[in-house]
Amino acid sequence: MVKLDFDERDLRSLRVFCSVARAGGFAASEKELLMSKASISRHVREVEERLGVRLCERGPSGFSLTPEGEVALKFANSALRSLERIRPEIDAVHGVLSGALSIGIGEHAVSHLDFKLPQALALLQLRAPKVKPEIAVMTFTELDQALRENRVDIAIRGKYFEDTEFNYLPIYKETHRVYVSSLIKKQGSTKLPLVFRQHPYVKQALAMHGYKRGPAAGGLDAIGVFIATGNYQGLLPTHLGDQMKGLRVQPDSPTFSHPICAVTDPQHAFTHRASMFLKILDELHGRIGFSTK
């Protein structure tokens, strides 16, 4: 028999380690785990001794994962999620869908009129009442990382370029344009700096359309605030920019469009409940075809 690095006795310690990492420290995880700080420390130490490496730094300077801890967390989370899926998948064999369905979405996605997420969740509740959906709002980068680490079953995000890493189900179209303050005279708007964020269209506008780089913003609301000052212009999805008071589309703005997709990672086992939800999304958004690369 092959000797495993971990056995049944280590599962509890692995769960404790993941909870500590998620909470950001031993003290922060006490309430969630209902354990003393000493007991939590003992479980983490057992995982470190089993692996022969230090997984986290803890002390006056605060808590942080080591590089080895980051790797351990990624695979421990994936392994524990796989264990949690055993019972729901056995239930599915008998025609009963159950368990958690984790969905990641981008900020302000639900404000798009073509995104029928509430209706999809209502249909899921009707067809599979024992499935418990969970929703988390993340950035584009965070969604991809969560997919790779098997922390979400489905990510709803834009598809900006072709790739073969993930599977894509197109559900609706999103358009981005450059906005300025309504108080700005039309003839002077193109010379304003463009608010920067880590996004393919912002980089394309700077590289190909002659915009000057402006201050960095951490999200769409922050871009809107910068634009409203009258000192900057910024790229926003039109379903959001058109709703923001005091903003208008810059007359010479380029137009960027892409499909918003339900994205899954083929490297991870696909659950029956995730499959049902993708079919519901496809049904509600009027698309033909189940999955595209």
Paired strand residues for 130: 98
Would the pTM of this model clear 0.85, i.e. be above it? no
Residues 120 and 187 in one domain: yes
Strand 64-65 to 213-216 pairing? unpaired
Whether residues 134 and 234 share a domain: the answer is yes
Evaluate whether residue 50 is within a structural domain: yes
For residues 4 and 108, the model is more confident at 108
The domain that contains 221 carries what CATH number?
A: 3.40.190.290
Domain boundary, last residue among 84, 110, 140: 84
Q: Judge whether 89 lies within some domain.
A: no
Worst-scoring range by mean pLDDT, 14-23, 155-164, 186-195? 186-195
**34 and 136 together in one domain:** no
Domain stops at, among 59, 84, 109: 84
Domain that includes residue 68, residue range? 8-84
- Structural domain tally of the chain? 2
Same domain for 240 and 121, yes or no, is yes
Residue 79 in domain: yes
In this prediction, residues 256-264 reach a mean pLDDT of 95
Q: Please give the structure tokens belonging to residue 24.
A: 């950001």
Cβ-based burial of 153 (10 A; exposed 0-12, middle 13-18, buried ≥19): buried
The CA distance from 33 to 109, in Å, is 33
Asked if pLDDT for residue 292 goes beyond 60, the answer is no
244, 224 contact by CB (below 8 A): yes
Contacts 24+ apart (CB under 8 A), 61-65: 62/25, 63/20, 63/24, 63/25, 63/26, 65/21
Asked if residue 1 is part of any domain, the answer here is no
The predicted pLDDT at position 83 comes to: 65
166: amino acid identity, one letter: F
> What is the gyration radius of the CA atoms in the chain, in angstroms?
23
Same domain, 118 and 205: yes
- Residue at 213 is within a domain: yes
Residue 86 has pLDDT above 80, yes or no: no
Last residue in a domain, options 84, 105, 128: 84
The C-alpha angle with vertex 129 and arms to 123 and 133, in degrees rounded to 5, equals: 75
Work out the average pLDDT over 230-255.
Answer: 94
Asked whether residue 180 is assigned to any structural domain, the reply reads yes
- Tell me the per-residue pLDDT of 54-71, one tens digit each, with 9 for 90 and over: 888 877 777 888 888 888
Q: What is the CATH number of the domain that holds 64?
A: 1.10.10.10
- Structure-block tokens of residue 247: 């903003």
| Same-domain status, 196 and 56 | no
User: What are the residues facing 99 on neighbouring strands?
Assistant: 131
Listed ranges 33-42, 81-90, 271-280; the one with the highest mean pLDDT? 271-280
Cα 80 to chain center, whole Å?
19
Residue 187 and residue 135 share a domain: yes
pLDDT interval class at 34 (50, 70, 90): confident
Residues 6+ apart with CB under 8 A from 234: 178, 179, 194, 195, 214, 217, 223, 224, 226, 227
Q: 131 and 68: one domain?
A: no
Side-chain half-sphere CA neighbours of 189 within 13 A: 22
pLDDT tens for 137-181 read 988 888 998 898 888 999 999 998 888 899 999 999 999 999 999
Same domain for 67 and 140, yes or no, is no
Position 264 scores a pLDDT of 95
Q: What is the average pLDDT across 240-248?
A: 93
Structure tokens at 103: 């969905």
Alpha helices in the chain (DSSP H): 11-23, 26-33, 37-51, 67-84, 86-93, 117-127, 140-148, 200-208, 220-228, 238-241, 272-285
